[in-house]
Chains A and B, each alone.
Chain A
Amino acid sequence: MKVIYILWLRQLKRYYRSKARMIGALGQPLLFLVALGFGFGPIYQKAGGGNYIQFLTPGIIAMSILFIATFSGIEVIWDREFGFLKETLVAPVSRFKIMIGRTIGGATVSVLQGIIVLLISTLFGFRPISIYLLFVSLIFMILIATLFTAVGTAIACLLTDMHAFQLIINFFIMPLFFLSGALFPLQGLPTAFTFIARINPLAYGVDGLRATLANSAQFGIFTDIIILSGITFIFLAIGSYLFSKMQV
């Protein structure tokens, strides 16, 4: 336990101390929130969708968690390239514990970032529907964060260097985000699109956050929780397996 704790603490200290990274990571979600929220707000309202900021905010929270979580998973490459990973791998500690400690650390940081986005969004007029459901939304944040930290770790174990990084952002993270229903409702879209959204784990995270924060679910909160936790478990298993097989 102590080992997992110190790995977790390290991630938190790094996050806390790097204010530039913390603020930098807020830039993109806030830009999306302001530009899209106010830009599409009137049209959305006219089309009968209601308050767009209310609809958009859960999606933006999911987005910021998606990015930070995936990156903190991929940070394994960084640590591998710049040596620190070796320090943990030659220690008399199982790789599983190292992976779990890192994942919990990365997930904690991502959830914190998600909460900050949530707080800031209230300045732009977002209002959570209930305090009680706010705590349920935390479960979704934790699930999204854990899932994508594990996904990031798995990707990092498969890559040999950072060159594929841009590829991952453009062909993996961005599509996951845009095709998750974070920015627009999934009702009435072409079948192919709906199908993609249905196999996109982030869609269930976005849906769960929207259900608990803005009261407009599509799949239903229980479907969301079950599918999301199932996928999270699978990716934790894949991530730990790949991490245990990784050679440095």
Chain B
Amino acid sequence: MDDIIIVKDLVKEFDGIKAVDKISFSVKAGEIFAFLGPNGAGKSTTIKILTTLLKPTSGEILMKGYDPAISPDKVRQTFGIVFQDPSLDDELTAFENMEFHGILYHIPKEIRKKRIEQLLKIVELWERKNDFVKNFSGGMKRRLEIARGLLHHPSILFLDEPTLGLDPQTRNHIWSYIKDLNTSEGVTVFFTTHYMEEAERVANRIAIIDHGKIVAQGSLQDLKKKTKTSSLEDAFISLTGKDIRSEHISSMEQMRMRRRMFRR
């Protein structure tokens, strides 16, 4: 399999502080890749750089052969993304949100219509296509965002904490959609999560980042073997020295969680 994302010696500094410190990794086309790390480890910064929202301080990136610094629009066409926070317009309907996305990605009208129908049916929202997003549950919003992220046939789908704040049934549900789409659309999935068991269950390969550095990467077996542990959770603690969920939550995170609860 070819490498669809190649990152080499990537550095991002904010006012002299290295949020991402010379990381290198690659993601193979068609695989499900988990990117794990404690809060503030550099996950979101890395995703922002890969998705052209931030410019790196130094390092090389190739997304399906394109360099985000040189051809950002080419790169933008190659991926779809579900952000950590909901990024739908609540005051538009499900269909309008899809339509908006389709036009932004220059999808011709006929293809757009068919594709929206196909994807909304897959995530079981076709019946509710004319409902306002503000009336959707958290799980429905996530499904809609996943469908929207796939509308323009991206090669890569980024999922930043796709199941945060959702109940276990909904989380299972979301993952079954993602796995199906990974197979049927052949889309490479790059995701972050706080739930170790999710990464353990769905990821083909895993990278763990801590303090801006990649501390381990490989398959689940590789990580367990390296740390001589029996589960990803234990491997994670052994590599980073902390439990992913039990650490201090910043006030920003708290606000975000509260808002999430309030909105869903």
Contact = CB atoms under 8 A, between A and B. Distances in A.
A is bound by B: yes
Interface of A: 2-3, 5-6, 10, 13-14, 17-18, 82-94, 247-248
B103 interface: yes
B215 to A, nearest CB: 27
Name the prevailing secondary structure of the A interface residues. helix
Interface stretch (B83-91, B116-124, B220-228): B83-91
A93 B87 CA distance: 17
26 contacts: A3-B103, A3-B104, A6-B104, A10-B89, A10-B100, A13-B91, A14-B89, A14-B92, A18-B91, A82-B85, A82-B86, A83-B87, A83-B88, A84-B87, A85-B87, A86-B83, A88-B104, A89-B53, A90-B52, A91-B101, A91-B105, A92-B72, A92-B73, A92-B74, A247-B53, A247-B54
A91 B91 contact: no
A213 to B, nearest CB: 33
A236 to B, nearest CB: 22
Interface residues of B, number: 28
A91 B54 contact: no
Interface in B65-107: 72-74, 76-77, 79, 81, 83, 85-89, 91-92, 96, 99-101, 103-106
Given A10-B100, A82-B87, 16 more contacts: A6-B104, A10-B89, A10-B92, A13-B96, A14-B92, A83-B86, A85-B87, A86-B81, A87-B88, A87-B104, A90-B51, A91-B104, A92-B73, A92-B76, A92-B77, A92-B105
A88 B100 CA distance: 9
B231 to A, nearest CB: 33
A86 B77 contact: no
A91 to B, nearest CB: 4
Interface string B190-221: 00000000000000000000000000000000
Contact of A14 (B73, B85, B91): B91
B76 A91 contact: yes
Contacts of A247: 53-54
A204 to B, nearest CB: 34
A48 B62 CA distance: 74
Contacts of A248: 48, 53
B88 A86 contact: no
A6 B53 contact: no
A1 to B, nearest CB: 10
B86 A93 contact: no
Contacts of B105: 91-92
B83 A93 contact: no
Nearest to B102: A6
A5 B99 CA distance: 12
Interface of B: 48, 51-54, 72-74, 76-77, 79, 81, 83, 85-89, 91-92, 96, 99-101, 103-106
A34 B54 CA distance: 50
Nearest to A82: B85
B135 to A, nearest CB: 13
A10 B101 CA distance: 12
Contacts of B88: 83-84, 87
Given A89-B53, A92-B77, A92-B105, A17 B87 contact: no
A6 B48 contact: no
A2 B108 CA distance: 11
A14 B134 CA distance: 13
Task: List the 3 closest pairs (A to B, CB-CB), nearest first.
Answer: A83-B87, A91-B104, A92-B76
Contacts of A90: 51-53, 76, 79, 81
A189 to B, nearest CB: 44
A221 to B, nearest CB: 39
Contacts of B52: 90
A200 to B, nearest CB: 34
A4 to B, nearest CB: 10
- Chain A CB count within 10 A is highest, among B73, B81, B100, for B100
